[in-house]
Structure 1
């Protein structure tokens, strides 16, 4: 009979996620995970099997609790904007989505995105990680396309714009920005990058 878990799994996954997000997979030791979650090794192993098991669960938690929630709030609308008198403004939603993507653990802009971080660290040699990362990217790209289409329907974006191609362009730009956030010593670049984002929204 399996031993019942004696910890809050959501809280543990949140803390482990933040640890991997900040440090990366390789640099995160079991000692780091014990410190961040407050659990002893036996509890972590009983709950998740291994560091790999906890990492996989943490990445799924990130997609569910960060990516999906962020996408739902900003891109899947309606997004109510003061700039458009409280009406649905998908373009303002996209802009706000981009800014929010740079809020990592404890609001630090340099944390980047967990999916992008692990794609550059593990993606070249780990097919399972590549699959998860691609699924997250596709979710964002589809949602960007849907938001752009909604903007067209509302008369906020020219009807001639190919929303799928524009969403792909925006997605690639976002990925590059998230890498830049990870390596930059300051955030002065963000305003310039956001000007490029806005140029694709009008």
Structure 2
């Protein structure tokens, strides 16, 4: 009887997520996944069922690990507009500045509204992002902040992640983000000044 081989599941899912982030689900081959993860195809199939199973596990790991950690760090309970600005600007820095974007954003583009392979984790990410951004805006601009302001920043966030895969200059995207947050900070500071008088 052969012995069961063990592997570091987190490391494998991280490597697989990176391979899917770079090539997309449809375009990455099993051979590329073997090379990225260090697993042979038999181990991939035994552990995850198939390529789709590995993708689901890698996307889930990415969303509930990497994305959630970023949202907690930049848009947690005491986050300010400055922190939220840092969240979006950080997408223009490593590891997301490598020209391959974000696995979630790329999956939104690849799968669209299609129900199935990526839809649950895409939905989780959108809810987490909307909640985090909305909470910061409500704290900083007041509870009556329109929902459109949250959607505007979600669009900005995912737009920058999408454009990071293009030839749009990073400096131009950073300037646009800073300009938007300068506007929001002026609104916040104006409201605070009004409340003091």
Asked if TM exceeds 0.5, the reply is yes
Alpha-carbon distance in structure 1 between the residues aligned to 2:16 and 2:143:
45
- Structure scoring higher RCO (CA < 8 A, sep ≥ 6) equals 2
Equivalent residue for 2:148, pick from 158, 165, 181:
165
Equivalent residue for 2:162, pick from 179, 193, 202:
179
Residue segments in structure 1 that go unaligned for 5+ positions in a row: 80-89, 152-156
Aligned to 2:192: none
Q: TM-score, normalised by structure 1?
A: 0.80
How much is the aligned-residue C-alpha RMSD, in angstroms?
Answer: 2.2
Q: TM-score, normalised by structure 2?
A: 0.82
Aligned to 1:83: none
Alpha-carbon distance in structure 2 between the residues aligned to 1:115 and 1:5:
30
Q: Which runs of 4+ in 1 moved over 4 A?
A: none
Give the number of aligned pairs: 183
Q: Does 1:200 align with 2:189?
A: no
Q: For residues 191 and 108 of structure 1, do their structure 2 counterparts lie closer, same or farther at Cα, with a shift above 3 Å needed?
A: closer
Aligned to 1:93: 83
Q: For residues 185 and 166 of structure 1, do their structure 2 counterparts lie closer, same or farther at Cα, with a shift above 3 Å needed?
A: closer
174-183 or 51-60, larger mean C-alpha shift: 174-183
Residue segments in structure 2 that go unaligned for 5+ positions in a row: 187-197
Q: Does 1:191 align with 2:180?
A: no
Q: Secondary structure at the match of 2:42?
A: helix
Assess if the C-alpha contact under 8 Å between 1:116 and 1:178 holds in 2: yes
Q: Does 1:140 align with 2:129?
A: yes
Q: For residues 4 and 123 of structure 1, do their structure 2 counterparts lie closer, same or farther at Cα, with a shift above 3 Å needed?
A: farther
Aligned to 2:73: 73
Aligned to 2:35: 35
